[in-house]
Each structure stands twice: as structure tokens, then as C-alpha cells.
Amino acid sequence: MHDRWVHLHPAAIALTACAAALVGTNGGTFSGEVKPVRSLNYLIRTGLFNYVNLPVPVEIQEHEEAGRFIPITQIRSNDDLKEAIANLVPLLHAPAEVADPIKYVFSEMVRIVLEHSSSPVGAFVAAQYYKESNRIAIGIADAGIGILGHMERFHPVTTHKDAIALALQPGISGTTSRIGGTDFNAGAGLFFTKSIAAFSKNMFLLYSGDAAYRLMVGAGGDASLNPDPNRDKHKFPTGLPNWRGTLIGIDINVQQGAAFADLLDQIRGAYRLDVKHRKDYARKIRFSA
Amino acid sequence: MTTITLFPIVGEFAEDKDAAANIRKTLIEPAIAVGDQVRLDFTGVGLVTQSFVHALMSSVLRAGGEMLENLDFKGCVPGVRGIIETVVQYSLDTGDIDSDFEPEDAVSPKAPSVSRQESPKNGRAKKPSLKSRSIKE
């Protein structure tokens, strides 16, 4: 680690806070040194040291321009989530067209954690707005059973990597072996979130166990979507430090021209790639003013 | 026709799946059970999640493709409309894959092997590859 220059994505901040909360819950102790890096003031303001029980330097020499950010928020219940969403947009000062995909991702990902992770410390979320690149970075971490622990109940997966790949496929739910999910879970949340990241040509990371899937869509890259995540441009390393729960990191470009509704149209198109439908049912829906 | 006005229940951002399932069980399904048509009024709702709409109506749709004819969607902004279209499409696409599936709350996570799908002849569940998942014409 550099003595002064340290940059942490909100996913790393959320994961650190989550791990620290787990240590605290289990009666563990902390040891180490907090160095006076330029971003320390920002890290303090995120609330990281409310969970990482280490002394921080009293005098902070330089302040980094942190921009707008959402402090680390621990979410354990439906009410916590509603409160966090209510606080989300005002903190970001974002117009509706920018806020919609952010609210969407935030809600869907945290709900997945609350419903499926069995995390003893709930979900930890953090977000940051980067003014120069006009993007929002969001991190969501839990210390639960992990994706393999969730998926293996109904699907024949034995590795973290296979479980992650399966969980990213639309229509595959960890609550049933049935394609298309149940009446309460569609198995589409992670696919939608990955798609939102892909269409804004930004980062999507899903880390659980010893494996991490990272969508690789750069500014000039191919934003096409595939039901099979292995067909997207990606990196999928294994043998990483084992994290018992799950970490999600996503960046969303807030100056993209496409409206959220257009994005949803494209996601629906990608969904169809995986299911050879007999009819275009969507055309039969009765909408009225 | 039974009209269900969603904004007073779920607010501007409809994302609470529990609320959606409750609306379905207490309002939508009873109305359809007696042969009534249902109008879902989304006026004032600016954003919905796929999970919310799925919990709201996927099981109703999967009861049969004709169920769509009993539903009317009012006051949908483009984003809401897009989510509804997506959920309708995949719900009906997958509605007849396994017509005798058990709802989630009837499945024991600790005993997945009792399900027909988890107990094929060779004793191993079949991995749902993309090819095997497609519905054949």
C-alpha cells in the first residue's frame, strides 16, 4: 500500500466494514496501524472506523476532495432498506433520470442479501459519486452463506465459480430448481444489475468464496448482453482470498443518454435470447392512460 | 372491474416485494377467482423493480396465458411499462415448463432431493444449461 495515495472503491469500503462488523460480532479484536493517507479524512467520514476499531491519527494534514458519497450503511431489515433508499437520492443531488437506475440497483441488490444471504450482520452498503467521470460507484457486502451456499441447495454446483455463473443467468433462482423461479423469486435480479452496468459501459463485480466475476466493458467496448455471463467480456479469477459472504460492486455512468426505459427494453431483448417464446406476449398487454 | 390503486400502498418507488405479494394474495387473486377483471393503477408510481412486479403478478400469469386478458395496467410511465412487459413476457414464456411445480413456501430448502427435478434417474440433478433451458416450439 502506498504511504499517501490510497483509493478505495465503495465495494472495498463496504466489504471492510462488513468484515469488521463480523469480527466485532464474534468477539474478535483489531490490531494494526492507520496511516495518514490523503484519503483518510474521506474514510473517516464514510464511517469506516465505526466498525474498524483502530485509533486514527488525530491530525489530518490534507483533505481530499471526496465529492458526494453515501456513508457506510448497515441494513438489516425492510425498514432499514426503505430508510436508506429515502436518504439515497437527496445525498447524491441527482435528477430522477440519474437516480432511477441507482435506486433500482440499490434496492434489488440489498433485497437479495436480506432474503437469501443469512448474513448475521445484514448488508453493508456504500456509494460514491465521482464528479470528473460522472459515475456512481456502489458497493454492497454481506457475511452470509455466499452464492455457493445459496445455489447448491437446488442446483448441482460445487464450486464458487460455477455458483456465481449460474446465479447470473436470468431465470435461475436459488430458491427452486424450476426455470423461471417461484411466485416470489424470479432469479433475475443479478442479471438485471449486470445488464444495467453493461449498458452504461461500466464495472460490475460479483465476489463470493474464492471467485470473482468482473464484467469488462470499457467506454468503447461491446455492451451486448448474454444470458450466459461467460459469453460476456469478463474476467473470472479463482483462488482469491476466501470471503464467506458476497460482495457486489457496480459503477453506473450518470451521463448516459439512454433513458432507463430504453435500457429496460434492451434488457428484455437480452432475456428473450435465452427463452424461445412462442408469442410476443408483451404486445397483448392492455395499457390504459 | 376491480381497480387497485398502487401509489397509496407502495409510494413513488415500488420495490417492496412483501407488499407486492400481499396485494396479489389479498386483492388480485380473490378478484380473479370470482371472474372479475383487475385494473392495476400505477398512476404516481415513477419506478418499479422487476422483483416487485414479479411478486405482484407472475404467479397469476402462470396460472394460464388467458389470465393476461383479465388484467389492465393504468397510468404506467415508460420505465414501469418496460418492467411490466418484461415480467409478463418471461412469466408466460416459462409458465408451462413445469406446470406442477410447488410454490416456494412449499419447498423445503433442507430437502431438495424430494423434488422430481432434483431426483433424476442417475441420482444427480441436471445442470440447467442454456440449451436445456430453452422452451421448444
| pLDDT tens digits, A170-223 | 888 889 888 888 888 888 889 989 988 887 778 899 999 999 999 987 655 555
pLDDT of res. A54: 92
With an 8 Å Cβ cutoff, are B93 and A111 in contact? Answer: no
- Selecting from B85, B115, B128 the residue whose C-beta is nearest the C-beta of A268 gives B85
Q: How far is B51 from chain A (nearest CA, A)?
A: 7
Please check the confidence at residue A4 and state whether its pLDDT lies above 70. no
Give me the mean pLDDT over the B82-104 stretch. Answer: 70
The reply to whether residue B74 touches residue A153, judged by beta carbons under 8 angstroms, is no
Residue A139, C-alpha cell as written in the block:
458497493
Q: Which of A152-166, A267-281, B93-107 has the highest mean pLDDT?
A: A152-166
Gyration radius of chain B's alpha carbons: 17
Cell for A190? 443479478
pLDDT at A172: 87
Judging contacts by C-beta atoms under 8 Å, the chain A residues touching residue B115 are 154, 177
Q: What residue in B sits closest to A227 (Cα-Cα)? A: B130
Question: How does strand A204-209 pair with strand A243-253?
Answer: antiparallel
Q: Residue A273 above 70 pLDDT?
A: no
Contact assignment for B104 to A268 by CB distance below 8 Å: no
CB-CB contact of A214 with A235 (8 Å): yes
Q: Could you give the ipTM of this predicted complex? A: 0.87
Grid look-up 386478458 returns B69
Which CA distances in Å does B54 have to A31, B21, B75?
46, 9, 18
Q: With pLDDT > 70 as the criterion, what percentage of chain B qualifies?
A: 68
- Window from A25-39, B57-71, B95-109 with minimum mean pLDDT: B95-109
Query: Span A120-125, mean pLDDT?
Result: 96
Residues in a beta bridge with A251: A137
What is the nearest CA distance from B32 to chain A, expressed in angstroms? 16
**H and E: helices and strands count for chain B:** 6, 5
Whole-structure pTM value:
0.84
Q: Please tell me which residue, A90 or A235, carries the higher pLDDT value.
A: A235
Contact A180 B91 (CB under 8 A): yes
